[in-house]
Amino acid sequence: MLPFNLTILGSSSATPTSERNPTSQLLNHAEKLFLIDCGEGTQVSLRRMHIHFQRIKYIFISHLHGDHFFGLIGLISSMHLLGRTKPLYIFGPEPLKEILDIQLKASQTSLLYPLEFRPTQAEKPEMIFEDQLISVSSFPLLHRIPTTGFLFKEKPGELKIKKDVIDLLKVPVHLIPKLKAGADFMAIDGTLHPNSLFTQPPPRPRSYAFCSDTAYYENIIPEIAGADLLYHETTFMNNRVANAIEKFHSTTGQAATIAQKANVKKLLIGHYSARYDDLQPLLGEAKAIFPETELAEEGMVFEI
Amino acid sequence: MLPFNLTILGSSSATPTSERNPTSQLLNHAEKLFLIDCGEGTQVSLRRMHIHFQRIKYIFISHLHGDHFFGLIGLISSMHLLGRTKPLYIFGPEPLKEILDIQLKASQTSLLYPLEFRPTQAEKPEMIFEDQLISVSSFPLLHRIPTTGFLFKEKPGELKIKKDVIDLLKVPVHLIPKLKAGADFMAIDGTLHPNSLFTQPPPRPRSYAFCSDTAYYENIIPEIAGADLLYHETTFMNNRVANAIEKFHSTTGQAATIAQKANVKKLLIGHYSARYDDLQPLLGEAKAIFPETELAEEGMVFEI
């Protein structure tokens, strides 16, 4: 199985604290690194975790509240100063482009590498990236300003050939691609052997869904349904549901309810209000509804 | 004597490292807090040093290279989110205003407090701030983009009355303000007593000069002459003078030469290239020319 894991770089909401960084996550799929949101200090977190940030090729920004992007210009700038030449692709709300450009212009910086900006929109779900192994789609969240979630989904792999059966039944080599494509096999004696005799199904495609920041919003359920891992913000505990509604954030119970209704495998919560020193009560509330819940904390790595 | 001291928040050049933050310093004069430059992560450094950042009223930005201002928007934003209502005054190059505005607009943030922006220019020296106790002037440095240094200078205090002499010679109370203003005193018997008999001079006004980033530039000498403390960048050691010239930065020897020619009391060096893990060799080179040199390092406090 290809590596597919998530490293938490920041779990705080609104402002960094002495202990927690604002939102940022690093997704590794098959050693391709995707950065999701980039709060202030992200480049230092990457350094401290010994992650070589020049390896990041794709950056996804959910929305333009500062705790999700104030670290981006510093990361872009450091990549330049440290000699990057490989392209960097940034997906985010359209005004982000001008915010970056104006700062590069003020410092009279001409980046040594191509910075390719791909604007996102928060009107409807959209496929925004794909390669041979994975696709990324964005979908609207419900927040005070245009905000998208992201779904990272593996592409279905090929059927895997059972070499021992191939040998036993003397299948000609030139037919193997056809078997991989799903064809049956007619032997010389006229017997039709079904494809399933020669192949085993590929691993089930895995997926990771990122939802921060958002109010409780059932419209996202079809987008994230069945995800192996769902990150859903939980800024507040259940007793602060009024704050959550007012600020377009979610409570632990709301996040867990979404996880349950979307039938995901595991829920990861984060984006904690700075008022919570001890996170165990948040975990407890979420688990009461959705037992397969874990806390996002700086430095933790989750296999998907 | 009024408190007058400098706390180093960041000493790195160009990019933050795992150990060092980009440039930022906090100057305390009479419990009024002035922030000088604001690299990424400054708000977290302030928190970790238990400095209540809402007390900062004035921020001075030397120039628009990212390592000197990428932390500003985050600090402004956190001040807002944490309920600030008192005005904040920012002095910096004119394009900074738009950089801040565009980011506040993107997040649809209306600050809860007045943010007063005062553009600086790097053409000639200029007084940019004064109150009863201190004045701040900016002056041009020699860098790739418009950059200013800052001189923080105490105002001369009043003459101090020698109460015992006043009592002895029975000086009427209503004449004391005149003595404080420098007048002599004519006694009833016609004797003229000189002012110096009744007063002692106020403490010598102290000053702090901040010079980062700059190439070797003798034009600054009249601006910083006699400063009690001079911070002068030393990005490179002496053997990299070619790099220093190319990048419009200074070597240890150049900083120490400026300190010597300006006849300052003490030199503080910083803005170290990330190539230097051990800073003692930089200190050694500077001291060879100007013995009263110290290293700026995160968390250190220097009395002025």
Query: What pLDDT is attached to residue B1?
Result: 84
Query: What pLDDT is attached to residue A188?
Result: 87
Range of the domain at A296: 4-157+203-303
- Mean pLDDT for the stretch of residues B159-186: 91
**What residue of A is the nearest CA neighbor of B70?**
A74
Whether residues B40 and B183 share a domain: the answer is: no
Predicted confidence (pLDDT) at residue B268 exceeds the cutoff of 90: yes
Whether residues B103 and B193 share a domain: the answer is: no
- Mean pLDDT for the stretch of residues A167-185: 91
Secondary structure tally for chain B: helices H, strands E = 9, 18
Hey, what amino acid is at A40? Answer: E
Whether residues A114 and A178 share a domain: the answer is: no
Whether residues A244 and A231 share a domain: the answer is: yes
Query: What pLDDT is attached to residue B39?
Result: 98
More confident residue, B187 or A256: A256
Whether residues B49 and B96 share a domain: the answer is: yes
Confidence band for B187, pLDDT divided at 50, 70 and 90: confident
Distances (CA, A) of A102 to A46, A108, A222, B97, B124: 25, 10, 38, 11, 25
Contact partners, residue A4, CB within 8 Å, separation at least 6: A28, A29, A30, A154, A206, A208, A303, A304
Asked if residue A164 lies in contact with residue A176, where contact means CB atoms within 8 angstroms, the answer is no
Alpha carbons B99 and A99: distance in angstroms, whole number:
7
Predicted confidence (pLDDT) at residue B32 exceeds the cutoff of 90: yes
Distances (CA, A) of B42 to A61, B90, B275: 23, 15, 22
Domain boundary among B177, B200, B223: B200
Predicted confidence (pLDDT) at residue A1 exceeds the cutoff of 90: no
Asked if residue A140 lies in contact with residue A148, where contact means CB atoms within 8 angstroms, the answer is yes
CB atoms within 10 A of CB B222: 10
Alpha carbons A15 and B43: distance in angstroms, whole number:
9
Predicted confidence (pLDDT) at residue A18 exceeds the cutoff of 90: no
Report CB contact under 8 Å: A106, B48.
no
Classified as helix, coil or strand, B47 is helix
Whether residues A81 and A192 share a domain: the answer is: no
Whether residues B113 and B134 share a domain: the answer is: yes
Contacts of B14 in chain A (CB under 8 A): 78, 81
Predicted confidence (pLDDT) at residue B244 exceeds the cutoff of 90: yes
Classified as helix, coil or strand, B46 is helix
Domain boundary among B168, B200, B232: B200
Name the token pair of A59: 């950056």
CA A253 to chain CA centroid, nearest Å: 22
> Among A91, A89, A82, A80, which Cα is nearest to A113's?
A80
Let me know if A67 is a catalytic residue: yes
Whether residues A56 and A68 share a domain: the answer is: yes
Whether residues B262 and B289 share a domain: the answer is: yes
pLDDT digits (tens, 9 = 90+) for B129-141: 999 999 999 999 9
Contacts of A14 in chain B (CB under 8 A): 78, 81
| Minimum mean pLDDT range among B65-74, B155-164, B267-276 | B155-164
Predicted confidence (pLDDT) at residue B266 exceeds the cutoff of 90: yes
Report CB contact under 8 Å: A107, B81.
no
What total of structural domains would you count in chain B? 2
Report CB contact under 8 Å: B71, A40.
yes
When CB atoms are compared, the residue of A16, A74, A145 closest to B66 is A74
pLDDT digits (tens, 9 = 90+) for A192-210: 999 999 999 988 999 999 9
pLDDT digits (tens, 9 = 90+) for A50-102: 999 999 999 999 999 999 999 999 999 999 999 999 999 999 999 999 999 99
Query: What pLDDT is attached to residue B106?
Result: 96
* Chain B interface disruption, residue of A19, A51, A69, A78, most B CBs within 10 A: A78
Predicted confidence (pLDDT) at residue B194 exceeds the cutoff of 90: yes
Alpha carbons A133 and B169: distance in angstroms, whole number:
96
Kindly state the percentage of chain A with pLDDT values over 70. 100
Query: What pLDDT is attached to residue A77?
Result: 98
Report CB contact under 8 Å: B74, A16.
yes
Domain boundary among B144, B177, B200: B200
When CB atoms are compared, the residue of B67, B106, B145 closest to A108 is B145
Confidence band for A187, pLDDT divided at 50, 70 and 90: confident
pLDDT digits (tens, 9 = 90+) for B42-58: 999 999 999 999 999 99
Query: What pLDDT is attached to residue A283?
Result: 98
Alpha carbons B169 and B186: distance in angstroms, whole number:
10
pLDDT digits (tens, 9 = 90+) for A120-155: 999 999 999 999 999 999 999 999 999 999 999 999
Whether residues B69 and B90 share a domain: the answer is: yes
Looking up residue A214, the CATH number of its domain turns out to be 3.60.15.10
Whether residues B120 and B228 share a domain: the answer is: yes
Secondary structure tally for chain A: helices H, strands E = 9, 18
Whether residues B178 and B48 share a domain: the answer is: no
Predicted confidence (pLDDT) at residue A246 exceeds the cutoff of 90: yes
Which residue is it, tokens 């900074």?
B96
For CA atoms A249, A252, A257, A260, give the dihedral sign: positive
